[in-house]
């Protein structure tokens, strides 16, 4: 299925704990949070986060985010999203919702949060306020967007510098 058709005609239907993609559905039932050259992020009417990867290193970014989130879940980290569905063929991921973006966080508090993440064996390589949320249900700040992160124990990961280099190469040598 072409990307444009997928992006324009998808909906997540929730029946109990089962989620089914309905390509004929009305995507307006999802709130668009981000639509850029590298990903689209939508919040479903069920509150879940739906992310589709595209652009340079899309597969690598998708695989890294899934790997890092699975690692953090296994380590008991409770201030990051949980992977609920993986669709590698579509580079499509569904996660739990970690709250709203909270860009007015102080530098000290933000550094404290990213440092806390490192105690779980992960270094986030995109340390920016846009990747901090506040979850009113848990009463705490959370971190999102693990496309560029490194599992320190294994050295597995994808760094922002690698993606920037791939993007420069793609602009220099378009297909």
Segment 106-133, tens digit of pLDDT: 999 999 999 999 999 999 999 999 999 9
Using pLDDT thresholds of 50, 70 and 90, give the confidence band for residue 13: very low
pLDDT class of 29 with cuts at 50, 70, 90: low
Pairing status of strand 100-101 against strand 132-135: antiparallel
Residue 152 belongs to domain spanning: 3-172
**Measured between alpha carbons, how far is 143 from 138 in angstroms, rounded to an integer?**
13
In this structure, the number of other CB atoms found within 10 A of the CB of residue 14 comes to 13
Residue whose pair of structure tokens reads 């949320």 in the numeric block: 133
30 in Cβ contact with 44 (< 8 Å): yes
Indicate the helix (H) or strand (E) that contains 65. Answer: helix 58-74
% of the chain exceeding 70 in pLDDT: 81
Query: What percent of the chain shows pLDDT beyond 90?
Result: 65
Counting the structural domains of the chain, the total is: 1
Asked whether the beta carbons of 174 and 69 are under 8 A apart, the reply is: no
Res 55 pLDDT > 70: yes
């Amino acid at each position: 299925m072409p990307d444009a058709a997928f992006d324009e005609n998808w909906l997540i239907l929730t029946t109990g704990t089962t989620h089914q993609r309905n390509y004929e559905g009305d995507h307006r039932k999802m709130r668009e949070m981000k639509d850029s050259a590298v990903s689209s992020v939508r919040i479903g009417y069920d509150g879940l986060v739906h992310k589709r990867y595209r652009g340079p290193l899309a597969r690598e970014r998708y695989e890294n985010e899934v790997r890092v989130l699975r690692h953090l879940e296994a380590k008991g980290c409770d201030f990051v999203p949980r992977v609920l569905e993986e669709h590698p063929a579509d580079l499509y991921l569904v996660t739990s919702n970690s709250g709203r973006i909270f860009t007015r966080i102080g530098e000290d508090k933000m550094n404290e949060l990213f440092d806390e993440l490192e105690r779980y064996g992960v270094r986030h390589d995109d340390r920016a306020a846009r990747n901090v949320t506040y979850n009113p249900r848990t009463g705490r700040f959370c971190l999102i967007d693990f496309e560029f992160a490194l599992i320190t124990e294994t050295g597995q990961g994808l760094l922002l510098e690698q993606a920037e280099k791939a993007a420069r190469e793609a602009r220099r040598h378009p297909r």
